[in-house]
Amino acid sequence: MFMTWETPTSMNVPQADSGVDAKRIEKQSRWDQNLKEIDRIIDGLGLGVDNGIKETLAALMAYEVPTISSCEGHIDEEHGEPYPWVDVSAPEPEGWINDESKQQEWTKENLILQQKINQLLSEFYQVNAVAPNEQIILQPKGIFGAFRLQGQEAEGIKNLAPEQQKERLEANRKVMESFAEFLKAKYFAE
């Protein structure tokens, strides 16, 4: 007796939407490209981006938020702060120094970025319980609307004893990492 077997493609098995798969592959490729770009960044001291802040930068890049500097936070080093942070600014327009309209446009672009980050943080806090002193805030940087993402208690950490600094640094790192994980999950789900 001769029997034939149906292959899964001829059965009533739900097939993955190739459009969704293609979009997922495209997003993964963009994410990986962001990480490669981050790995090529070298600061004025000849150092690369801290490993503990790379995912945050990749997530912000995925949401088209331009970053200009960052740190995972350090206690025992001459450079850095005892908390994680990311500086955000729209690209500096050419010829802005003596052009008030370019300065206003730059400020406007930075305000739009602030609104975008505030919306993302609002969504993040809806699903993540974070102690008020550890919540990420936007600290103004300069006169054209640039800002720093940092923990609410960031500046006060400097005044603590070394053991307390270490404890607060770790707590603030966890919040920044959770925010990055939230953004990554949201990015891939959209």
Written as one string, the DSSP assignment of 143-163 is TTTEEEEEETTHHHHTTS-HH
Tokens of 102: 């370019």
The per-residue pLDDT for 172 is 96
The per-residue pLDDT for 43 is 84
Per-residue pLDDT of the chain (190 residues; tens, 9 = 90+): 333 334 334 444 445 567 778 898 999 999 999 999 999 998 888 889 999 999 999 999 999 999 999 999 998 766 679 999 999 999 999 999 999 999 999 999 999 999 999 999 999 999 999 999 999 999 999 999 999 999 999 989 989 999 999 999 999 999 999 999 999 999 999 8
The per-residue pLDDT for 20 is 74
The per-residue pLDDT for 79 is 67
Q: Dihedral (C-alpha) 140, 181, 128, 24: value to the nearest 10 degrees? A: 110
